[in-house]
């Protein structure tokens, strides 16, 4: 699925294939990143995959799948919505087969000159499972992962902690990885007033994005968090599509992929190939692109009479 309601053409040689793998219903920021990906005209969105929440909710993957079905239906976009793994890898050698892993393998092995990117907004289970089933995909895609604690030490971080084995599978492979760790994805702060002013007025999708965030902000889990201020949020998943709009080519380091220990710290054993580890992003570019795409999509839907 590629959006066509823009007045600027994307050159064919700039088009990319995109699979977005997301624990959508874990909390409120994933839907913003999914919508930005679905509304980006240089993306051929070949599928969205529902990811699990780790131990937070044993039905998390299914909830994410239903959330993705509802979101794409509301946007009236035809994009495959697939089930990912319902739980983490049992160990670093055993895949958890799923529709999502099959999609990654199928797209990676397809003869298509357009690059394939897998945007991972949660755990790496589906990508690791795909690799364990078909190692040849390593040279045929690029993974962009929102996850991991700051370098060089590492430490507890939600997406990494939901499947440490999967991280070690991916980090131990040869596939290109662009990692956006916690200290960088938290460079995406927004105020609630900003979102009410710039997102909520933008049609049904804008209302959905804002209202589901407000609803989540009132949950006991969110209210108990010292990180939540009551008037701000972090759209920490949006750098995943954002880095395909602008690569930020002077804002990353090449770091040998570490081995992640059970306590989620980084062990620099020096045997893995380097990966991109981002140290900064342009939040203005990413957020303004999101706001513009929401406004243009709302305008487009209004002209259609929807």
- Per the CB < 8 A criterion, the answer to whether 126 and 145 are in contact is no
Q: What confidence tens digit (pLDDT) does each residue in 2-53 have? A: 777 899 999 999 999 999 999 999 989 999 999 999 999 999 999 999 999 9
In 3D, which of 30, 77, 72, 74 has the Cα closest to residue 51?
A: 30
Tens-digit pLDDT profile for residues 227-267: 677 799 999 999 999 999 999 999 999 999 999 999 999 99
234 three-class SS: strand
pLDDT, tens digit, 9 for 90 and up, residues 101-135:
999 999 999 999 999 999 999 999 999 999 999 99
CA separation for the pair 185, 279 (Å, rounded): 9
User: DSSP H helical segments within the chain, as ranges?
Assistant: 30-38, 60-75, 99-109, 125-133, 158-161, 164-171, 182-185, 192-198, 203-217, 220-223, 239-245, 283-304
CA distances from 31 to 15, 39, 242, 275, 294 (A): 23, 12, 14, 27, 13
245: left (phi over 0), alpha (psi -120 to 50) or beta: alpha
pLDDT (0 to 100) of residue 226: 66
Residue 224 has pLDDT above 70, yes or no: no
67-103 residue pLDDT tens: 999 999 999 999 999 999 999 999 999 999 999 999 9
Supply the pLDDT for residue 117: 98
Question: Which residues, in sequence order, are bridge partners of residue 16?
Answer: 43
Q: What is the tens place of the pLDDT at every residue in 162-186? A: 999 999 999 999 999 999 999 999 9
Cα distance between residue 306 and residue 300, in whole Å: 9
Cis peptide bond upstream of 3, omega within 30: no
What SS3 state is found at 89? coil
pLDDT of residue 1: 72
3-state secondary structure of 275: strand
Q: What single-letter DSSP state applies at residue 88?
A: -
């Amino acid at each position: 699925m590629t959006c066509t309601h823009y007045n600027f053409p994307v050159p064919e040689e700039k088009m990319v294939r995109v699979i977005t793998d997301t624990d959508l219903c874990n909390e409120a920021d994933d839907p913003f990143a999914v919508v930005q990906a679905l509304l980006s005209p240089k993306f051929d969105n070949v599928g969205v995959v529902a990811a699990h929440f780790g131990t937070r909710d044993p039905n998390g993957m299914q909830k994410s799948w239903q959330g993705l079905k509802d979101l794409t239906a509301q946007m009236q976009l035809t994009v495959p919505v697939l089930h990912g793994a319902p739980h983490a890898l049992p160990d670093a050698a055993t895949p958890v087969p799923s529709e999502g892993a099959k999609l990654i393998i199928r797209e990676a092995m397809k003869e298509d000159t357009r690059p394939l990117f897998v945007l991972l907004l949660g755990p790496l289970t589906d990508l690791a499972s795909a690799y364990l089933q078909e190692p040849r995909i390593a040279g045929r895609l690029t993974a962009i992962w929102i996850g991991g604690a700051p370098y060089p030490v590492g430490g507890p971080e939600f997406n990494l902690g939901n499947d440490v084995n999967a991280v070690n599978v991916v980090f131990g492979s040869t596939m290109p990885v662009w990692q956006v760790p916690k200290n960088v994805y938290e460079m995406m702060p927004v105020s609630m007033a900003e979102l009410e002013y710039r997102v909520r007025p933008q049609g049904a999708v804008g209302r959905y994005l804002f209202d589901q965030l407000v609803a989540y902000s009132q949950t006991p889990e969110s209210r108990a968090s010292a990180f939540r201020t009551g008037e701000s949020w972090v759209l920490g998943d949006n750098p995943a599509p954002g880095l395909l709009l602008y690569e930020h080519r002077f804002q990353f380091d090449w770091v040998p992929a570490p081995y992640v220990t059970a306590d989620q710290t980084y062990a620099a054993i020096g045997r893995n190939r380097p990966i991109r580890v981002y140290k900064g992003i342009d939040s203005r570019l990413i957020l303004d692109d999101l706001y513009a795409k929401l406004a243009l999509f709302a305008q487009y839907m209004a002209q259609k009479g929807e």
